[in-house]
Structure 1
Amino acid sequence: MAICAICNTRKGKRKCIDSDTFVCSQCCGSTRNTEKCTGCEFNNPTGFEKNPYISVPGFSIKQMADNISLQNFSEVIENEICKFDYEHNMQLKDDIALHVLELLLDKFYFKKEIIPGENELLNEFYNMIIWAISKNLQGVSQNDIAKILKTIYASVKRHTLGKREYFDFILKFIGIDGMRIIGNKN
């Protein structure tokens, strides 16, 4: 492994496109320049945050634990997540939960108009949660709904390893017997 060409103390792991040498991540970050670093994979003018959903505010675990109303609001959405998984033979992967939560955050936080895509399963999942929110969270502000969605999104990110770890976790929390049929769309 090369030594950083700038500080000469740390391991140089990044190939600098400006100096054509290896530099450490600390020196890369402190000497980065938009003009000379154009085209470098480490030069992101908007910062290193590539996932816009990370910046959405949510409720902390403590805030959720201390507020029964927030827990009840969250349960409306999590119940629909469990119910949808149950209706699909408990075979869904966590990525569909992440994707539907991203669409919901697009609607409630980013205020984007959501146009149904070609994925029928995703559309069905999205519409099911939208219906539950409109039916059961009528008095809750759009801002609080967005924060609840972000909190659930963060939980999915925390629990998933790419399979269905979040679905298994939330099913233990809600339980099949605990799934409520909150009204019926049909």
Structure 2
Amino acid sequence: MVKGMKAKKCVICNARKGKRFCVKENEFICSRCCGLIRDPQLCPNDCLFLSSLAEKKEVGELPLYKVLMTTPKGSRSIVIAREKENGRLQFISVLVDEWKMGLKDCFGEQDISKKDFNRLIARQPHYVDADINKCKEIIKRGILVAETLGLKIPREFRELKHILGDLDKVEVTGSLYKCFECGKGDLPDEIVELIKEVTLHDVAAGVCGTEDETMIFFVCDKCRGEKEEVEKGVEVIEEEVE
């Protein structure tokens, strides 16, 4: 911007002041929108802001400080933190609804002290240490579910996803939704379609996360068979007792 010139609104969001000249848009845009649309494949090599993008992508290679996940099934909160050279952290926290909506929410910090980070984590008693690859798989599937349903990926996720590391190499196979019991077994196509239908209905009704949300629970053939075996065993024991 030329000194003394009043900044106009960003041509993309039309909300914040446009202080960065975008060669691709041929207009001034805000720093947030710049971060969202900036892409080495599309932006000119002489773009002044591509270097900062490269720096962000390198964050995914920083040493892991913590990889955490909540234990309750269905709705998983995943936290991945990496330690910077100065000892401070960057972290991303992702909420994934495994049973219905997929990737649902996200927040994080680009720069936070270990003390403040640990204090933040202590507020959630259900976090346990987790495997980074397992977390990436859950997040990748969450993205696929949300995109399949046509749900919006949180803006914060786009800004912080570099902290996760490379997701391109993470393979998501099998049915869109997995068994609600074991989290691994595939579900039949008709069940997957039913889950999608129920989810979109609840989203449209605005009842997700409320008492009015439709409660569903589907299991794979293996888990169903194991449950039936247990029930038969209980019946036999009850008969012997009688």
TM-score by length of 2: 0.24
The answer to which structure, 1 or 2, has the higher relative contact order (CA under 8 A, 6+ apart) is 1
TM-score by length of 1: 0.29
